[in-house]
Structure 1
Amino acid sequence: MNNPTSTNELTKEQQILRVMRKVLAAVVKDVTPVAGRPNPLRESTIRDIRECFGLIAARERELAEMLGLAPMRPYYPGEEPKSAKVVQLVRPAKNDGE
């Protein structure tokens, strides 16, 4: 068996976790009832789904740390500080001779 920290295995595991997260999210989306309708899932099932998402996220963080990758965060436009600075413009006073 290969070393469990090999990059190829971690990459494969990351791919599996990503697909599992997407499929689980799609299932949740498909069974989420419209407003006013009862949820078809039991409370215990909802707790289990949340736990699955938590375990997937925790393992993805562990794998990223093992690879020395920076923590992944969502990017929101406008989140980063602007590099431009606001400059005050002042009109010159008019000369009486013009």
Structure 2
Amino acid sequence: MNDEILSKEQRILRVMRKVLASIVKDATPQPGMLHPLSERTIQDIRECFGLISAREAELADNAGLSRNEKPFYTDEPQKSNVVKLHKPGSTKKPEGE
């Protein structure tokens, strides 16, 4: 989705989601270490992600946008194939052959 067609609210939600995810990533301890955040804070973060996601879904539905957009690699096989069609009768050989 292009940032040009996103509303201000959609851009704010996107940035909030990214910042919150970065905070979680930075605060996640190595395996076996104690977590610096309390269980209540972790639950609040989950609720924030849920609210952001729900509002983004509402905005996408209201705008008629697809919510199934997923990143893909350019060399990833596509699910659709291009089929070339020709007009009936266009299989004639050119004159003189």
Q: Distance in 2 between matches of 1:81 and 1:22?
A: 29
Q: Identify the residue that residue 79 of structure 2 maps to in structure 1.
A: 81
1:48 equivalent in structure 2:
44
What is the CA–CA distance in structure 2 between the aligned matches of 1:43 and 1:65, rounded to whole Å?
33
Deviating runs (4+, > 3 A) in structure 1?
75-80
Query: 1:65 is aligned with what amino acid?
Result: D
Q: TM-score, normalised by structure 1?
A: 0.67
Given candidates 11, 18, 22, the residue that maps to 1:26 is 22
Gaps of 5+ in 2: 1-5, 83-97
- Give aligned-pair identity as a percent: 56
- SS of the counterpart of 2:7? helix
Structure 1: state its 5+ residue gaps.
Answer: 1-9, 85-98
Sort the Cα spacing of 1:36 and 1:79 in 2 relative to 1 into closer, same or farther, 3 A. farther
Q: RCO (CA 8 Å, sep 6+): is it higher in 1 or 2? A: 1
Summarize the Cα distance change of 1:71–1:45 in structure 2 as closer, same or farther, 3 Å threshold: same
Larger Rg: 1
TM-score (norm 2): 0.67
Task: Report how many aligned residue pairs link the two structures.
Answer: 75
